[in-house]
A and B are shown apart, each in its own frame.
Chain A
Amino acid sequence: MSTAITTAQTHQELEAMHADLAALTAEIGRVIVGQQRVIRSAITCLLAGGHGLIEGVPGLGKTLLIRTLAQAVHLEFSRIQFTPDLMPADIVGTSVLLQAEGDLAGKPVLQYQPGPIFANIVLADEINRATPKTQSALLEAMAEGTVTAGGETRKLPDPFLVLATQNPLEMEGTYPLPEAQLDRFLFKVRVDFPGEDELMHILDRTTGSGNAHARPVVDARRIGEMRELVRSIPVTDSVTRYVVRVVRATHPDDPRATDLVKRYVRFGASPRGAQAMLLGARIRATMDDRLTPSVEDVRAVAGEALRHRVILNFEGEAEGISIDACIGQVLAKVPTEK
């Protein structure tokens, strides 16, 4: 009897989540023209509790997307513009000497001033322009959800989501993210140039007098509930096995590795890649009002989950091999059957 009640409740919860996600997507879509895939990936990162690396040329609306997302979910948002002279303390905050008040009035005391990292959604704009030292300041925040400054560890707000952007063209004076940091990102999302209709729509919407703003659709509590529900989505063994096979096939020494992987890949995806794929597949299925992910869901998120985790070797870099091509070949070759 209790199972029946749970089933009905769960059904209602799933319906509600689907409705909320649809509303969230629609709300963001009111501001962002097109880029549905990017929007869905950002929402996926939000629900999965992961971080997203958004890569695209300037002017494609990356910052606007993240800002709109923050508005729609009614979360605290902060934006950090990464520059070469940006210091870690500029991100995590620092202790400053202040005159104490009260009993110790007049005496100098060190008081911690939180940095912009203390927000629910942090936009790390052009993250690759900062020095590795500064970039690494994000490592703890992204991995642990905490910040240590002045010998004291402070917890970041929940939910905490870092959405970083980087420009793939301007490589001069940039510091590519190290593999360890890249692995912290759940997805690496590529923002494509909009199509003709979308561009016309963008022009129409942004050059007129109207200025669209996203209204809050869900809040932090609801996001927490949805995160919990998403992780309850069951996955069939065949899908899980497919994820494992795909991840293993990105390693050049695996028997299922494709020719491109064997020749041009130095390191394959980590287990975090598998986790990212499975979580992304679950959320994608939920967004599509399905109760369990399929192989197609895995394939749909595989590129974003793996492309920053597969490292090309020198030959691959020299040949200009696309990682997406390698991943596509892997997806095509790995069998879906048992």
Chain B
Amino acid sequence: MGEQRILDRLLAAAIARLRIADAAYALGRVALPAAGLLAALAIVGMRRFEWPAAALWLCVAPLPLALGWALLHRHDRRSVARRLDAFHHLNDQLGAALELTIRDRDAPRTRAIVELARARGEALAATVDPRPATPIRLPRPQWQDAIGPAALLVALLVPPAQAGAMVAVPFVFPEDFEARALARAKVDMAAAAPLRQSLRELVGTEDRPAHTAQQILEILDALERGELDRAVALERLEQLEQELADAEADFQQDLQEDPGILSEALEELAGALEEQEITQPAGEALDQGDGERAEEALAEAEQAAEADADAEAQMSRALSEAERRLGAQQQDRSANSESAKKLDEAERRLRREEQTKPKPEDAAEHERRLKQQREQVEQLRRQHERELAAQKKVEELRRNAADAAKSKAGSAERKRKLEKLGRGMSQASRTAGGSRRLQGARDALEEAKSLVRRAGQQGSGADKRRQQFRKFEKAAKGKGDKGGQDGKGKDGKGKGRSTLMVEGEVGDGEPNAMVEMDGQSGDGQGQDGDGQDGDGQGQDGDKAGDGQTPGDGQRPGDGIGTGSQDPLGEPSAMDVKTKSVRVKAKGGRGVSKAEIMRDASQRGFATEAYRETFRDYRDHAQSALDSDAFPAAQRRLVKRYYQLIQGR
């Protein structure tokens, strides 16, 4: 068997070399010329018949075909053996060893000779080198080989189809172009890092916000891995938003106390507890929304107070302060109950509407309004009841704090009150925390949607602004022309876009003219700017300023007047509904650099010059001023504002 394998190996080696030789021949003689011809055909097709560029792949087709033929082309082992025999002058002894078989009818001596012949064939095979008999050579160049390259050269010289012969087809964006562009746009995952951190903080519990946060994280991860495109991600985020809205509705339905009031009360309570060293842990825990830990910390503080008189004093001070702050909040709340006012107003409107007898044709509309108002009243009533319940809860907290402060340290009464206070804190914290977590989940969801959308809007936003600007510019020029006739200003003669609004007068009266100025050359600015405008100011207000000094045109000029003493002027007679809103300022040191960077990473750094942004905003405002009737004082206020924030 071992000897037999020698002949088999020899033949296998020879056949392998023959296949390589076949491949070389097929590639050199057939595939490459054919590839040249096909490439030429594809180029001509692309240039003259608008074939797609993929037609060039045609020229690759002969290569695998040639290689496949060389691989699959059958080589008869007997023929190969005969070839080796002929080359090495072996008189077909290898082939005979391969072919001879012992037949039943053979005589014993014949069988013996067959075996001898096989053995001799194997022995010869061991001495035979297959390489000379199966040389691997590239086919010699022939004139036919030049056909392919020549055709390729000729094809490259073929000019493209005549422009006149082409039919101009207007380019039409496919309907789903925006969706596809949205899907293709990449999401900046680095910008999502703070959002992910916020989401991880929400994850870890079993509530709905945690589930939503986990879902958002998974969507972001899938986006990053490329398993989702942006359109699908947005779709899933919107689905999550719907689910979250349902959860919020359920939460609101089950809510007994207003979380806002409770949250404010807890904030006051935490602030009071943090003032004293002994209750500081409880205050901090409360500040972080962990009511249970705050309750435990309060109990520990009480234990410490029992052992130490100083601690007891601190404890009493903290409780007294808590009682004071909660009481102050209650007073403020009762004095300024928004929901009660709104409820009264809504009930009054509803009663009025119910008493109104509508015309038959307006009955349906009347009914719809009634239904809407009833729902609104119902909502307001529910909110009012929650506020009342929350205030009651806060009052209870305040009372417990007061009682505990008055009780003696270590007494059962004090322990009981403190226990009540801690339990109330914990419950209030849970209620406020649930709302806060829901709000956090909603914010994160909005942020995620914004993040996903942002990549697809980078290009279109600039286009929209540009279009809007043109529209506003056109409208502004129209006004400017008129102003040039009526007012003091004149149109600038120069080129360029308007960059500055120049106010002729600061004071009362109707709007002043707006003058379009040259932002580059400055032609004509001298006439309008120097002195004349400044002289005109301050007719009504004292020390209206030095007037506009637009300068040499390169710069808009910094000569903005100091304004009148009463820039708002006289109150307008226009009937304007005002609404006072109490805004609670955020305490502390303000925005830190780290927060600025975090916000920038989420929202992106500024990519446009301030001048451009200012112009856009100012144009928006100007457009509003031009199209709507505003009191003169408000109008001046807006203009004044833009003058103040104008870039220099």
Contacts and interface: CB of A to CB of B under 8 A. Distances in A.
A170 interface: no
Interface string A203-244: 000000000000000000000000001001110111100000
Contacts of B114: 234
B208 to A, nearest CB: 82
Given A236-B96, A292-B100, A6 B79 contact: no
Which of B78, B113, B114 has most A Cβ within 10 Å? B113
Nearest to B93: A290
Given A3-B108, A337-B79, A14 B93 contact: no
A304 interface: no
Contacts of B586: none
Interface stretch (B115-123, B290-298, B335-343, B470-478): B115-123
Interface stretch (A35-43, A137-145, A263-271, A294-302): A294-302
Interface string B68-85: 000000001011001001
Interface residues of B, number: 25
B91 interface: yes
A198 to B, nearest CB: 25
A236 B82 CA distance: 13
Contacts of B93: 290-292, 294
A292 B117 contact: yes
A290 B89 CA distance: 12
Contact of B117 (A6, A229, A291, A337): A291
Nearest to B91: A294
A263 B264 CA distance: 124
B111 interface: yes
Contacts of A2: 108
Contact of B113 (A233, A239, A296, A337): A233
Contacts of B108: 2-3, 6
A337 B112 CA distance: 26
Which of A234, A238, A336, A338 has most B Cβ within 10 Å? A234
Contacts of A292: 92-93, 96, 100, 113, 117
A232 B115 contact: no
A291 B91 contact: no
A6 B109 contact: yes
Given A237-B99, A238-B99, A3 B107 contact: no
Given A232-B109, A234-B110, A336-B82, A296 B91 contact: yes
A3 B115 contact: yes
A237 to B, nearest CB: 7
A229 B120 contact: no
B95 interface: yes
Nearest to B96: A292
B235 to A, nearest CB: 69
A10 interface: yes
A273 to B, nearest CB: 22
A11 interface: yes
A220 B113 CA distance: 24
A294 B109 CA distance: 19
B486 interface: no
Contact of B112 (A6, A239, A288): A6
A90 to B, nearest CB: 42
B310 interface: no
A295 B109 contact: no
Interface in A138-180: none
A282 to B, nearest CB: 11
B341 to A, nearest CB: 111
B162 to A, nearest CB: 59
A291 B116 contact: yes
Nearest to A290: B91
A232 B106 CA distance: 9
Interface string A255-296: 000000000000000000000000000000100101110111
Contact of B96 (A6, A13, A294): A294
Contacts of B79: 337
A229 B114 CA distance: 13
A336 B108 CA distance: 29
A239 B95 CA distance: 11
A3 B91 contact: no
B109 A236 contact: no
A295 B93 CA distance: 11
Contacts of A294: 85, 91-93, 95-96
Contacts of A337: 76, 78-79, 82
A236 B112 contact: no
A322 interface: no
A-B pairs with lowest CB-CB distance, top 4: A294-B92, A10-B112, A291-B117, A7-B112
Interface of B: 76, 78-79, 82, 85, 91-93, 95-96, 99-100, 106-117, 120
8 contacts: A2-B108, A7-B115, A9-B112, A234-B100, A234-B106, A234-B110, A291-B117, A337-B82
Interface of A: 2-3, 6-7, 9-11, 13-14, 229, 232-234, 236-239, 285, 288, 290-292, 294-297, 336-338
Given A10-B112, A234-B110, A294-B85, 10 more contacts: A3-B112, A7-B116, A11-B112, A229-B109, A232-B113, A234-B117, A237-B99, A238-B78, A291-B117, A292-B113
